[in-house]
Amino acid sequence: MVEDEIIAGNLALVRVRIAESAERARRDPHDVTLVAVTKTVPVEAVAAAYCAGVREFGENRVQEAERKVAHWRYLDIDRDDPARWHLIGHLQTNKARPAAGLFAMVQSVDSPRVAEALSRNVPAGHELPVLLEVNVSGEESKSGFALPGGRLDGATGPAFLADAIAIAGLPGLRVEGLMTVAPLTGNPETVRPHFRALRALRDRLRERVPQARWRHLSMGMTGDYPVAVEEGATIVRVGRAVFGERLA
Ligand SMILES: *Cc1c(COP(=O)(O)O)cnc(C)c1O
């Protein structure tokens, strides 16, 4: 189908750009995982991306993800090499139970309440990898722990540090790093300082909260993923550059 070929072509271009950015930063492109963001995207397009090699998919709403994953499992394409679903949007605590069973990673833990709700609902014997979502830009509208400039010595620093320590100690969860959503802008260079701030915060957390692994930096979307890779992203979350503009 023509649409499948467009998605495969888009993916090839995104992968080339990731590799070029990694090279500029003297990084191994294999250290960058592409999460294809499928919110509002039909499951046929998910299948096209899967056939073009994508294994990680991102959804921002639990209900949409539940419906899509049920449909996806019915297609039964990925039995030998399952797709992995990431939650990248704010989680309401009353959806923690389905979320804990559905997602391979929750990237959008933005409060101790959300972390505790997930911790209580992780199936016995499992560990759910999570990232802490941090708002380093100071934009009021953004979710995530507010930590302007990623500074632990600012007004919100001590409370964030205490929360990070508490979350790192919750059973059933494995804190693996940080996620951020940069401000939307036409010029990716204006977001570079925010990505740098997230990486510097990650480096400080490695010293201050050594009980967590802090290996992941999830940053970069369609408008800015090459800059994010240059600044150390290990996960980029790309929707429109893979599937085209969202209609909804
Ligand atoms: C929608 C979304 C993305 C992907 O955005 P694109 O601009 O389509 O690449 C990434 N991260 C989050 C948290 C999102 O909600």
Q: What is the pLDDT of residue 128?
A: 98
Q: What is the mean pLDDT of the chain?
A: 96
Q: pLDDT tens digits for 19-32?
A: 999 999 999 999 99
Burial 6-44 (b: 16+ CB within 10 A, else e): ebbebbeebbebbbebbeeeebeeeebbbbbbbbebebe
Q: Is the CB of 237 under 6 A from ligand 1?
A: yes
Q: What is the pLDDT of residue 202?
A: 98
Give the integer Cα–Cα distance in Å for 243 and 248. 13
Q: What is the pLDDT of residue 247?
A: 77
The atom of ligand 1 lying closest to the CA of 60 is 15
Q: Is the CB of 202 under 6 A from ligand 1?
A: no
Q: What is the pLDDT of residue 60?
A: 97
Ligand 1 centroid vs 108 CA: distance in angstroms? 12
Q: Which of 221, 224, 236, 245 to mutate to test the pocket of ligand 1 (most atoms within 8 A of CB)?
A: 221
Beta strand segments in 93-234, E: 105-109, 128-135, 145-146, 173-179, 216-218
Q: What is the pLDDT of residue 6?
A: 97
Q: pLDDT tens digits for 157-182?
A: 999 999 999 999 999 999 999 999 99
The atom of ligand 1 lying closest to the CA of 223 is 7
Ligand 1 centroid vs 229 CA: distance in angstroms? 15
Ligand 1 centroid vs 237 CA: distance in angstroms? 6
pTM listed for this prediction: 0.97
Sites in the chain below the pLDDT cut of 50: none
CB 234 within 8 A of CB 219: no
